[in-house]
């Protein structure tokens, strides 16, 4: 049997007195496409940020690709991971943010080549060749020399995707990558992601409020509520026949607000 690429084991996380994640466990198989849905504040963003090591955890364990993420073994003991270990683990993971977070002082090409050149010591030529392929894939090859400020939101987000891909991570995390976009620009980004899902065997975790897209994209859907996974299953099961009352209520509200499922 194939081993899970992500193994989250009873992790918890609080901000001050507020418990955001409460003994959360989950497993993701290599190549799986996961959609994380649920009401605002339920901890979806937080779990992605934890996987990207942008937040620390308070308890529990996470294994990525067979290795501990926040811990390291030294002489049979589990110690808190140091920066070196974290840097090594981060190579396996890429993330795309809701607000793109492109580097505004660098052109599109430099945004994509910066990390490979600095962290993998890639030569400029090789890095730019690879960047061009990726920009081509997201349909942004002709804007390679543009500055981020000159791009529309949808274009920025496509560059951000290319930038994350440039490090060839095994796992990609997407946090509401379309929710800051004008409605008309959403589709161009979703198209890129569909293509990505179809063409690569990367593991992908996606937080979204676009239920329609979640349905088409995901192999499995996790429904979050108050820091726990309340229900999970195939998209059809979750969207058409939710078992939990909380899930039913959530979907009903979303539909009433005018979103298509």
Ligand X SMILES: Nc1ncnc2c1ncn2[C@@H]1O[C@H](COP(=O)(O)OP(=O)(O)OP(=O)(O)O)[C@@H](O)[C@H]1O
- In whole angstroms, the minimum distance from the beta carbon of 105 to other proteins comes to 5
User: Is 56 an interacting residue with respect to a second copy (CB under 8 A)?
Assistant: no
**Residue 239: its H or E element:** helix 235-240
Residue 61 and residue 68: Cα distance in Å, rounded?
A: 7
Give the 3-state secondary structure of residue 196. Answer: helix
Indicate which single residue of 39, 60, 169, 233 sits in contact with a second copy (rule: CB under 8 A).
Answer: 39
Query: How far apart are alpha carbons 3 and 12 in whole angstroms?
Result: 23
Q: Is 257 in the site for ligand X (CB under 6 A)?
A: no
Taking a C-beta distance cutoff of 8 angstroms, is the pair 26, 8 a contact?
yes
Q: Is 83 in the site for other proteins (CB under 8 A)?
A: yes
Euclidean distance between CA atoms 185 and 183, whole angstroms:
5
For residue 15, the partner it binds in a second copy, other proteins, ligand X, none, with Cβ less than 5 to 8 A by kind, is ligand X
In the list other proteins, Mg ion, a second copy, none, the entry touching 223 (Cβ below 5 to 8 angstroms by class) is none
| Helix (H/G/I), strand (E/B), else coil: 3 | coil
Is residue 94 involved in binding other proteins (CB under 8 A)? Answer: yes
Among residues 5, 32, 35, 42, which is the contact residue for ligand X, using CB under 6 A? 42
Contact 112, 162 (CB under 8 A): yes
Q: Which region, judged by CB under 8 A, interacts with a second copy, from 45-53, 64-72, 135-143, 186-194?
A: 186-194
Residue 104 engages other proteins in binding (rule: CB under 8 A): yes
Report DSSP state, residue 126: H
Query: What is the distance between the alpha carbons of residues 158 and 141, in angstroms, rounded to a whole number?
Result: 11
Number of residues that bind Mg ion (CB under 5 A): 1
Residue 246 contacts ligand X per CB under 6 A: no
Would you tell me which residues interact with a second copy (CB under 8 A)?
39-40, 182-184, 186-187, 190, 209-213, 253-260
């Amino acid at each position: 049997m194939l081993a899970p690429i992500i193994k989250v084991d009873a992790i918890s996380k609080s901000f001050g007195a507020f418990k955001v994640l409460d003994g959360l466990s989950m497993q993701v198989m290599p190549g799986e496409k996961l959609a994380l849905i649920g009401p605002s504040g339920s901890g979806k963003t937080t779990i992605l940020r934890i996987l990207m090591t942008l937040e620390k955890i308070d308890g529990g364990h996470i294994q990525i690709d067979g290795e501990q993420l926040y811990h390291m073994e030294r002489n049979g003991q589990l110690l808190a991971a140091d920066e070196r270990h974290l840097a090594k683990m981060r190579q396996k993971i890429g993330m795309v943010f809701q607000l793109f977070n492109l580097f505004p002082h660098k052109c599109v090409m430099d945004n994509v080549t910066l990390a490979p050149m600095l962290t993998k010591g890639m030569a400029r030529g090789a890095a730019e060749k690879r960047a061009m392929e990726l920009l081509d894939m997201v349909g942004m090859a002709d804007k390679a020399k543009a500055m981020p400020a000159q791009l529309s939101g949808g274009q920025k987000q496509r560059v951000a995707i290319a930038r994350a891909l440039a490090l060839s991570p095994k796992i990609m995390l997407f946090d509401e990558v379309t929710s800051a976009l004008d409605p008309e620009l959403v589709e161009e980004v979703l198209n890129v992601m569909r293509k990505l899902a179809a063409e690569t065997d990367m593991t992908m975790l996606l937080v979204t409020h676009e239920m329609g897209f979640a349905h088409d994209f995901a192999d499995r859907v996790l429904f979050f509520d108050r820091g726990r996974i309340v229900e999970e299953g195939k998209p059809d099961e979750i969207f058409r026949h939710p078992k939990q009352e909380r899930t039913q209520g959530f979907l009903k509200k979303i539909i009433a607000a005018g979103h298509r499922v």
